[in-house]
C-alpha cells in the first residue's frame, strides 16, 4: 500500500524546477509519448529566441503592444481528476505523461483547490468568477434558473466575456453544468453521449450495484474495461472535434474550451488502458480504520454517501474491490491524459501555438478510499485539491507554486494574460504575479464550500474546516499530509484557529433558485428543509403571528400547556408558583434581522436567545437580556442588563429604556459571525463571534467550559422563563442585508 503524499508537493519549497526524461509507454496497440513536447519545443524555442532578439532591438513599446495580436486560449477542463497525476505525486503509479509535459513547461500550482467539491457549483463558480457563498449555488443547478439569472450568470460567464471583447468562442464536451453550452459559447460541438457507453440499462453494472431503494440521489459508480475501442468514448470524439477546430483558419483570436469527462464515473475505458496497471501490482491508499474517530459528528453525517460504495464492501476479500476501483481510476486518468496529448499535439502543429495560452484543470478532486469513501462531495483534501497548470506562449521551463490558489482565480488570470479589461465582479485574484514569481505575496488561504455554511480553508500549511453547527477541524500538512489527526481541540493551535476563523466568509447567500433538491444523504435532506430551499429566498418563517403559539413548543419538544399564553396579540408569561419552562420556535434560523417589542414586570428577568442548540444536555444560545435594571443592579455578578449579550457583552450605558409599563423596541441582527443588538433605535452591542475580543470574554464567562459555544450558524429562537412576568409582541423577521 502507498502513502499518497509522503513527499507532499504542496509543502515543498516553491519555485522547484520540474521536468523529466523522454520515454514512451506501450498501451495495447498504441504508444503513449511521455514527452509530447519533443515536436513542440523547437517551435517554442524559436519563438522565445525571436522574442529575446526583439527585446533588445530599439522600438516603440506602446506601438508594439498595440500591434501584438491578442493571444488565443486553450481551456482544458477535466472532470473528477484528483492529484493522481505524475507532476503532483498523488499516486506513485500514475501515468499522465502529457499533463506532466505541460507542467514541465508551464506553472503547476501544487496547492490548487476547487471552490465547491461537486461539478455544478464548482463550474458555476469558476466560470462566473464568484464564490458559492456569494451566488448561493451550493448544489447541482437546474438548466432553467441559472441561465435566467442575468445578474450573476447570463452574459457574465468567462467565455461570454471573451465573446464580448472580440473572441471567437468554441467548446466541446463538458464545460458548464446546468447552463446551456450553446448560450455560453458561440459554437458548441456537443457532448457525444455524456458519460459514455453503458453495458445496458440503468441497473446493469459490472462490479457495483447501488441500493436503489434508498431515498437519495444515485450514482453511476462502477468500474470495468469497457467499451472495446477509444473511438466509442465521448472524450475521444471531443478531442477529434477540438483537433478539427484547431486545424481551421480563424479570423479572430479564439477561446477553445475542451471538456473531458473521464475520470468521472463510471470508471469505464477500453482494456488497453487497464493493461498498463496489472491488478496484482496495484497500490491502494493507506486507510486507518479509526480515521473518522476524531472528526465532529456533523462531519460524518455531512460526508455520508449511502448509495456509493462503502468501505467494508471495498475492503472485503483482501481489498479486492478497492484494488479494482483504484486500477480503473488510474486507467481512466491515463486514457484522458492521452486525449489531452492529442489536442496539445494538434495545437503544436499550427501557427496558433506561438500565441496561445493553455490552461488545464480539474473541477474538483476525488476520494479513492481515503476518509472511508469513494466519491467527491467533501471538504477534505482529496475532494478539493485539483491539478492546475497555466502555460503562457513564452513559457519553456516549468515551475511549481505552492501558494493556496483556487479555480476562482482563473477568470481574472485569463483577462490579464489576454489584455482584456478587468472585471470588478470577479472575486478571485489574477495568478499572473505568481506566474512571474511563485514566491510572491499571496492570500492566506483559499476556500471550498460544501452545502451552505460549511467551509474549508486551505493555507500553505494547514486545512481548516468550519461546519454549520460551529464544529471545526484543523490539519497540519507539514506533519500530517493525510489529514489523519484533527488538531482543532489542541490548545497549542489556538492562534492558528483564530486566523482561520477571521478568514471565513462573512456572508452566506441563500440557496440560488436553480438549486436542485435531490439530497445525497439524510443530513442534506434535513438541511434543505432547514434552509427553506425552494421557498421565497427573501422570506423566513414567521416567529409569531399574534394569534397562537403554533410555531412554539417547550424546549424538550412538548406542546405548550401552561404558563405561556397569547393575550391581546402578545406572548405573555404569567408568573406562577412553579416555572413553566423555556419555549422555542419550531423552525430554526440562521442569519436574520429580528425586530420585536417587550415589557417586563417590576423586578423581572427574562431574555430572548437565538441560534439555540443542544450542548450536551443544555440548550444554549446567544441571549438578548431583558431585565428590570432598576431593581437588579449591574453589580450583581452574572445578571447582566437589558440589551446585553448575556454574560459576554454589556451595552452602551447611555441607552434609553422605557418605563416598566411601556413596551420597548428591540432588534437583533445576525449575519454570519457578526451580531448586533439594538434597543429603542440605538445600536448598543456589536460583537463578532470567535474574534480575539470574543474569545477573551468567553474564557472568563459562564460558558467557558462549553466547546464551540455560539459558533453554530443555525438554531432556534428561545424565550426564557426565569419566574418573571413578561410580554413579547410584534415580531418581524427578515433576512439581513449584506452590509
Q: What is the 3-state secondary structure (H, E, C) of 137-165?
A: CCCCECCCHHHHCCCCCCCCCHHHHHHHC
DSSP per-residue letters across 157-209: SHHHHHHHTT-EEEEEES--SSS-HHHH-SEE---SSTT---SSSTT--SS--
Tell how strand 570-573 and strand 405-406 pair up: unpaired
Local structure of 595: helix, strand or coil = strand
C-alpha cell at 428: 478571485
Before 227, cis peptide (omega within 30)?
yes
User: From CA 683, how far away is CA 145, in angstroms rounded?
Assistant: 39
User: From CA 331, how far away is CA 328, in angstroms rounded?
Assistant: 5
What is the reported pLDDT for 446? Answer: 98
Identify any residues that bridge with 688 across adjacent strands, giving them in sequence order.
Answer: 674
Q: Which domains does the chain have, with CATH numbers?
A: 24-503 (3.40.720.10), 538-734 (2.60.120.560)
Before 263, cis peptide (omega within 30)?
yes
User: From CA 558, how far away is CA 580, in angstroms rounded?
Assistant: 12
Contacts (Cβ under 8 Å, ≥6 apart) of 246: 256, 343, 346, 347, 350, 352
What is the reported pLDDT for 32? Answer: 44
What's the whole-model pTM score?
A: 0.88
Query: Cβ atoms within 10 A of the Cβ of 509, count?
Result: 21
What is the reported pLDDT for 3? Answer: 54
What is the reported pLDDT for 54? Answer: 37
Q: Where are the beta strands (DSSP E) in 190-316?
A: 223-225, 254-260, 267-269
What is the reported pLDDT for 40? Answer: 40
Query: Cβ atoms within 10 A of the Cβ of 135, count?
Result: 24
| Best CA proximity match to 594, nearest among 540, 650, 529 | 540
Local structure of 399: helix, strand or coil = strand
Which residues are part of the catalytic machinery? 119, 177
Residues 87, 109: contact at Cβ < 8 Å?
A: no
Per-block mean pLDDT, blocks of 10 residues, the chain (739 long)? 48 33 37 42 41 39 57 98 97 98 98 98 98 97 94 97 98 97 97 91 88 90 97 98 97 98 98 98 97 97 97 97 98 98 98 97 98 97 98 92 98 98 98 98 98 97 96 97 97 94 92 94 95 85 96 94 96 87 94 96 93 88 91 56 93 86 96 94 94 91 88 94 94 87
DSSP per-residue letters across 61-78: HHHHHHHSPPPEEEEEEE
What is the reported pLDDT for 578? Answer: 85
User: From CA 739, how far away is CA 733, in angstroms rounded?
Assistant: 17
Amino acid at each position: 500500500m502507498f502513502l499518497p503524499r509522503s513527499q507532499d508537493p504542496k509543502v515543498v519549497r516553491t519555485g522547484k524546477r520540474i521536468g523529466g526524461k523522454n520515454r514512451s509507454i506501450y498501451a495495447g496497440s498504441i504508444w503513449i509519448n511521455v514527452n509530447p513536447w519533443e515536436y513542440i519545443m523547437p517551435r517554442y524555442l524559436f519563438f522565445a529566441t525571436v522574442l529575446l532578439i526583439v527585446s533588445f532591438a530599439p522600438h516603440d513599446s506602446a506601438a508594439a503592444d498595440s500591434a501584438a495580436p491578442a493571444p488565443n486560449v486553450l481551456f482544458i477542463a477535466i472532470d473528477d481528476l484528483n492529484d493522481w497525476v505524475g507532476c503532483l505525486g498523488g499516486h506513485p503509479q500514475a501515468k499522465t505523461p502529457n499533463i506532466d509535459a505541460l507542467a514541465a513547461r508551464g506553472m503547476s500550482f501544487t496547492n490548487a483547490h476547487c471552490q465547491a467539491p461537486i461539478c455544478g457549483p464548482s463550474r458555476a463558480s469558476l466560470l462566473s468568477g464568484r464564490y458559492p457563498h456569494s451566488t448561493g449555488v451550493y448544489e447541482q443547478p437546474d438548466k432553467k434558473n441559472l441561465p435566467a439569472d442575468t445578474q450573476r450568470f447570463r452574459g457574465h460567464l468567462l467565455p461570454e466575456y471573451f465573446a464580448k471583447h472580440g473572441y471567437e468562442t468554441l467548446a466541446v464536451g463538458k464545460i458548464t453544468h446546468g447552463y446551456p453550452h450553446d448560450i455560453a459559447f458561440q459554437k458548441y460541438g456537443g457532448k457525444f453521449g455524456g458519460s459514455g457507453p453503458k453495458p445496458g440499462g440503468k441497473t446493469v453494472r459490472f462490479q457495483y450495484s447501488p441500493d436503489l431503494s434508498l431515498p437519495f440521489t444515485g450514482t453511476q459508480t462502477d468500474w470495468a474495461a469497457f467499451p472495446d475501442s477509444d473511438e466509442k468514448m465521448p472524450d475521444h470524439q471531443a478531442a477529434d472535434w477540438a483537433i478539427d477546430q484547431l486545424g481551421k483558419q480563424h479570423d479572430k483570436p479564439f477561446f477553445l474550451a475542451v471538456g473531458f469527462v473521464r475520470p468521472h464515473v463510471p470508471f469505464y475505458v477500453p482494456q488497453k488502458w487497464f493493461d498498463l496497471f496489472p491488478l496484482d501490482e496495484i497500490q491502494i491508499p493507506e486507510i486507518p480504520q479509526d480515521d473518522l474517530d476524531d472528526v465532529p459528528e456533523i462531519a460524518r453525517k455531512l460526508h455520508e454517501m449511502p448509495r456509493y460504495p462503502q468501505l467494508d464492501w471495498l475492503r472485503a476479500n483482501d481489498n479486492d474491490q478497492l484494488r479494482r476501483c483504484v486500477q480503473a481510476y488510474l486507467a481512466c486518468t491515463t486514457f484522458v491524459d492521452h486525449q489531452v496529448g492529442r489536442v496539445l499535439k494538434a495545437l503544436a502543429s499550427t501557427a496558433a501555438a506561438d500565441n496561445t495560452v493553455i490552461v488545464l484543470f480539474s473541477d474538483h478532486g476525488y476520494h479513492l478510499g481515503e476518509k472511508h469513501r469513494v466519491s467527491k462531495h467533501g471538504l477534505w483534501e482529496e475532494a478539493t485539491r485539483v491539478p492546475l497548470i497555466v502555460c503562457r506562449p513564452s513559457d519553456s521551463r516549468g515551475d511549481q507554486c505552492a501558494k493556496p490558489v483556487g479555480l476562482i482565480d482563473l477568470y481574472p488570470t485569463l483577462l490579464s494574460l489576454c489584455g482584456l479589461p478587468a472585471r470588478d465582479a470577479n472575486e478571485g485574484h489574477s495568478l499572473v504575479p505568481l506566474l512571474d514569481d511563485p514566491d510572491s505575496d499571496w492570500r492566506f488561504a483559499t476556500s471550498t464550500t460544501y452545502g451552505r455554511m460549511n467551509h474549508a480553508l486551505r493555507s500553505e500549511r494547514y486545512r481548516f474546516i468550519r461546519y454549520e453547527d460551529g464544529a471545526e477541524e484543523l490539519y497540519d500538512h507539514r506533519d500530517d499530509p493525510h489529514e489523519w489527526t484533527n488538531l482543532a481541540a489542541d490548545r497549542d493551535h489556538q492562534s492558528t484557529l483564530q486566523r482561520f476563523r477571521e478568514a471565513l466568509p462573512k456572508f452566506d447567500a441563500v440557496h440560488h433558485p436553480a438549486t436542485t433538491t435531490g439530497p445525497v444523504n439524510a443530513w442534506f435532506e434535513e438541511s434543505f428543509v432547514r434552509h427553506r430551499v425552494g421557498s421565497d429566498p427573501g422570506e423566513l418563517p414567521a416567529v409569531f403571528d399574534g394569534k397562537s403559539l403554533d410555531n412554539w413548543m417547550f424546549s424538550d419538544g412538548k406542546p405548550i400547556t401552561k404558563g405561556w399564553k397569547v393575550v391581546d396579540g402578545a406572548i405573555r408569561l404569567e408568573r406562577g408558583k412553579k416555572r413553566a419552562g423555556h419555549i422555542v420556535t419550531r423552525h430554526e434560523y440562521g442569519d436574520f434581522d429580528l425586530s420585536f417589542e417587550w415589557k417586563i414586570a417590576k423586578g423581572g428577568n427574562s431574555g430572548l436567545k437565538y441560534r439555540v442548540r443542544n450542548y450536551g444536555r443544555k440548550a444554549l444560545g446567544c441571549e438578548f437580556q431583558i431585565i428590570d435594571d432598576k431593581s437588579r443592579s449591574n453589580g450583581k455578578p452574572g445578571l447582566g442588563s437589558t440589551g446585553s449579550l448575556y454574560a459576554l457583552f454589556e451595552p452602551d450605558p447611555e441607552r434609553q429604556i422605557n418605563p416598566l409599563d411601556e413596551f420597548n423596541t428591540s432588534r437583533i441582527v445576525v449575519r454570519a459571525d457578526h451580531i448586533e443588538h439594538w434597543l429603542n433605535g440605538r445600536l448598543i452591542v456589536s460583537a463578532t463571534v470567535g474574534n480575539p475580543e470574543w474569545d477573551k470574554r468567553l474564557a472568563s464567562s459562564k460558558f467557558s467550559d462549553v466547546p464551540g459555544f455560539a459558533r453554530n450558524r443555525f438554531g432556534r429562537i428561545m424565550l426564557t422563563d426565569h419566574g418573571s412576568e413578561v410580554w413579547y409582541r410584534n415580531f418581524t423577521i427578515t433576512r439581513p442585508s449584506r452590509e
